[in-house]
Each structure stands twice: as C-alpha cells, then as structure tokens.
Amino acid sequence: MSAMQRLELRQGQSLTMTPQLVQSIKLLQLSHAELAAYVAAELERNPLLQEGEIQADARSLSLADFLRAKQKAQVLGSRIVPGPPPSGQAASGAPGSPSAAHGEIRPELEETLARTASLTEHLQAQLDLATSDPRLRMIGEHLIHSLDEAGYLREDPAEIALRLRVTSADVEAALGLIQTFEPSGIGARDLAECLAIQLKERGRLDPAMQALLQNLHLVARQDFAALRRACGIGREDLASMLAEIRRLEPKPGLAFTPARVDVLVPDVLVRPVPDGSLAVELNPETLPRILLNRTYYAEVAKVLRKDEDKSFLSECIQTASWLTRSLEQRARTILKVATEIARQQEEFFREGVAGLRPMTLKSVAEAIGMHESTISRVAANKAIGTERGTYPMKFFFGAATGEGEHAAKAVRHRIGQLIGAERPGDVLSDEAIAQKLKLEGIQVARRTVAKYREALRIPSSSERRRHSREA
C-alpha cells in the first residue's frame, strides 16, 4: 500500500521583530541627549509633529506649507515609517519616494558618517550577509536584541525557543551563527564561553585550555597549585596560558558603548517628602514635548487631490502617532523601573553609599513584571538625581559580596573610610579591616578586602606604613 501524502493546516503564534518594535527598543535605550536629537530630526521631517503645546494659530499652516514640508522630508529621508503601506497603495520603491521608506530605517548620510554603529547595528549587518533563511534571521534578530551591553546572552535559549514557538535546536543554530560574528566572543552565555570562542578562533582551545576555562574560579582564587593539577601542566605552561587569557576581551560588546558624557543630567529625580516616603518623578527638562497636530491633519486632508500627497500624509500620521505613543511608553517604563530602584535602595537615599544593598537586573525585573533585557536597556545611559548628587542608574545595581548580603559598592566604601581614618602609627592590615567589618555585621574574607582595596587603588598596609614613616 503506497504512502499517502496529507496536507495539514496548523495555527500558531510567533514573535516577529517588526520595524516598530525594533525602533521602540532603540528609543528605550537612548540617553536624553540622543533622544532630543532624534526627536528634533523627526520634527524636521514630519509636518504633523509640533513641539510643545498646540497653539491657537496652528490651523494657519497652509497647503503650501505642507507641500514644502513634503519636499524637505524627501530630501532628508525618513528614519522609519511604521506599518504597511496605506490600503490599496503599493510601494513603488523609487528612490526618494515616500513609499520607499515603508518599514525601513534610513539614516541621513551625515548621521552615518558622524557616529559609530551600535553593537546591534553591527551584528544585524553581519546577520543580513550570513544567511537568507527567514526563520534563522528572525531568531537571530531576536537574539541580537536580547544581548546585554557587554555582548552576553543572559536569557536561557530554551525560554527564547518557547516564546518564539521554535525548537531549541533552531535557537542554538542561530546563536552559533551569531557567535561567529565580530567582535569575537559575542553572544556568549558566560565568561568561559566568551573566552572559549576567542581561543577557538586563534586555534588555541586545546584540552589544557579547556580545563583552565572550566576552573576559572581557581583563577579568581589564585589557587595555582590546584589549577596545575586540573590542567595537567607545569608552572611555565600555566603562566603562559594565563598570560594568553589576559590578552582576551572579557566584554566584547563594550567596544560599541557610546562614550559617557562629562555632564550627567538626571532623567529621574528622587527626593524624600515630609511623610517619610520617597517621591520619584521624571525630570521634565529631559522629556521631549511633541504633539500630533490633528487639526492641521484634518485641514490638509480636505484639500489634497494627488495620490502621492495623500500617501505622504498617511505616512506622516502613522509615524507621528507611533512616535507619540512610543515616547509615552518609554517615559512610563523608565519611571516604573526607577520607582522600583528607589524602593529596593531606599537606605541609600537616606544614608548614602553605606546604605546600598545588593540589587540585580533580575530582582528588579521580577518585582515589576518586566524582562531583564528591558531593565538593562532602561538603565543604559540614564541617571538618577538625588539630594546627594546625580548617579548613573547602573550605579545602583550590584551583586552581594561573596560572604554576605551587603552590596560590594557599600563594602568598598566602608573599607575606604576605615583606611582614610587610620592614624600614622596604627595602619590596618587587610585582616584587621576584615575583623572590623565583621564587628559591623559585614562578613568578608581577607582576600576580599585586598581585592576591594586594590580596586580603590589603595596601597597595601606595608606600603602605607613605609609612607607614614617617610612622612
């Protein structure tokens, strides 16, 4: 009996990274200065967008004004026009035509020359060249947008597969492809994998090096005897391997992080109020104020006759509506994240650095029902203004010390205070500092004190004693 072919119709859901979603993600990660520049460009391109409040004389704009704005927008090029072309109209694709910009991100030439591509753009360009498989590209785009600032994938690929309704093998295949991109080490799930990718590209991932990567905790403890036993090598070989590891890049994505500006302007303001609580509000000076001039839209729509003009007007209303909604959503998301940071770090806002508590992206994400990648994007390039000064939002995130429940930043701050209060004849050793911290309820080992002291660029106790005698 011959086999019969059967046609089945299955219904399912999948996540597609639409141009609108991609652009919304980018808006969330922009600093207030970058956002202001972006909004200013959109105000130039879109005659339906207006800065500030709609004035009473807004209807005085004429059809001639609209047509001039259309010509100017065609010269500038549209950044993004969300959504499909208006019903019944096909995109011509002609250079400079409004419909050619549907769903595309079109930066100006000057903008392309003036800035360095972001990590996401750099990887996306490589993905476009690496595969034409639509399924692999869709998964790859999602993975690229899920990477953190350092270039790591912190989310479980199995969870990504479940959310995208694809197989784990599909996600692993897409991830394996991304891990072949530049910069080397991108897309790793942990430090060991990041280093392994780089070593493999150099042809240096031999069994001894693999054993070393599996025992990075021994490197951190500087337990070289145990390392030699684990790797089955001698002193000279271990020294050579460690030197090679130090030449690798543990955070490949940071090369694409924009340089930090000198003046830190807060996006969020946190201040105590008389009832003892903390007030958290967005800084009005960093919020773009743009509105969709629907009155002007209605007036112009009445008199347009050409299909080309109607198409441009339709695109303008779509773009303006999307942008105003996205900016509102961005503001709500930033405020929600900042409010949770203030709740978890309440002691900092009352006591200063000594009051910092361990806080991770995951703890904030779980508390407010968002994904860790969203919290990471909110924290990037944002700052919180307090009575004690303005701090980068990322300052408030940090793990606990290995031996206790105190934030590493708070412990480092306290170590600096103890050393700063030393008398010339009474210099504290690392062990003595550890004992003093223990009396304050902070459990840290001597080696941890040494590590934090070195991070503060404070000399050892013997050096401090010598300097004290010389003085």
pLDDT of res. 10: 63
pLDDT of res. 401: 62
pLDDT of res. 83: 36
Convert the pLDDT of each residue in 18-28 to its tens digit.
666 777 788 88
Answer whether 153's CB lies under 8 Å from 146's CB.
yes
pLDDT classification of 340: cutoffs 50, 70, 90: very high
Mean pLDDT of the chain: 79
- Assess whether pLDDT exceeds 80 at residue 109: no
pLDDT of res. 197: 95
65-69, 118-122, 142-146, 353-357: lowest mean pLDDT where?
Answer: 65-69
Q: Which of 256, 283, 306 is the last residue in one of the domains?
A: 256
Convert the pLDDT of each residue in 371-429 to its tens digit.
988 898 998 889 999 988 888 998 888 766 655 566 677 777 788 888 888 887 788 88
Answer whether 385's CB lies under 8 Å from 270's CB.
yes
Answer whether 152's CB lies under 8 Å from 190's CB.
yes
Note the helical H segments in 304-389. Answer: 307-344, 346-351, 361-368, 372-379
pLDDT of res. 176: 94
Is residue 369 assigned to a domain?
A: no
- What residues are paired with 291 via a beta bridge? 50
pLDDT of res. 155: 87
111-120, 146-155, 345-354, 389-398: lowest mean pLDDT where?
Answer: 111-120
pLDDT classification of 116: cutoffs 50, 70, 90: low
Measured distance CA(380)–CA(374) in Å, rounded? 10
Tell me the percentage of the chain whose pLDDT exceeds 70.
Answer: 77
pLDDT classification of 56: cutoffs 50, 70, 90: very low
Measured distance CA(101)–CA(77) in Å, rounded? 8
Q: Which of 232, 256, 280 is the last residue in one of the domains?
A: 256
- Assess whether pLDDT exceeds 70 at residue 205: yes
Convert the pLDDT of each residue in 164-200 to its tens digit.
889 999 999 999 999 999 999 999 999 999 999 999 9
Domain count, the chain: 2
Is residue 53 assigned to a domain?
A: no
Mean pLDDT of 210-232: 90
Q: Do β-strands 383-386 and 268-272 pair in parallel, antiparallel, or remain unpaired?
A: parallel
User: What pTM, to 2 d.p., does this model score?
Assistant: 0.52
64-68, 223-227, 234-238: lowest mean pLDDT where?
Answer: 64-68
pLDDT of res. 7: 64
pLDDT of res. 93: 35
Q: Which of 211, 226, 256 is the last residue in one of the domains?
A: 256
Domain limits for position 167: 119-256
Find the Cα–Cα–Cα–Cα dihedral 65, 70, 73, 74, rounded to 10°: -150
Is residue 223 assigned to a domain?
A: yes
More confident residue, 146 or 109: 146
Measured distance CA(29)–CA(121) in Å, rounded? 14
Closest to 269 in 3D by CA, of 389, 409, 396, 397 = 389
Measured distance CA(30)–CA(47) in Å, rounded? 24
Token pair for 125 = 């360009």
Max mean pLDDT range (8-12, 73-77, 286-290, 296-300): 286-290
Closest to 470 in 3D by CA, of 427, 424, 429 = 424
- Assess whether pLDDT exceeds 80 at residue 5: no
Is residue 60 assigned to a domain?
A: no
pLDDT classification of 316: cutoffs 50, 70, 90: confident
Amino acid at 424: P
pLDDT of res. 175: 94
Is residue 346 assigned to a domain?
A: no
Is residue 181 assigned to a domain?
A: yes
Is residue 233 assigned to a domain?
A: yes
pLDDT of res. 290: 85
Is residue 305 assigned to a domain?
A: no
pLDDT of res. 383: 92
Measured distance CA(313)–CA(63) in Å, rounded? 11
53-67, 358-372, 436-450: lowest mean pLDDT where?
Answer: 53-67
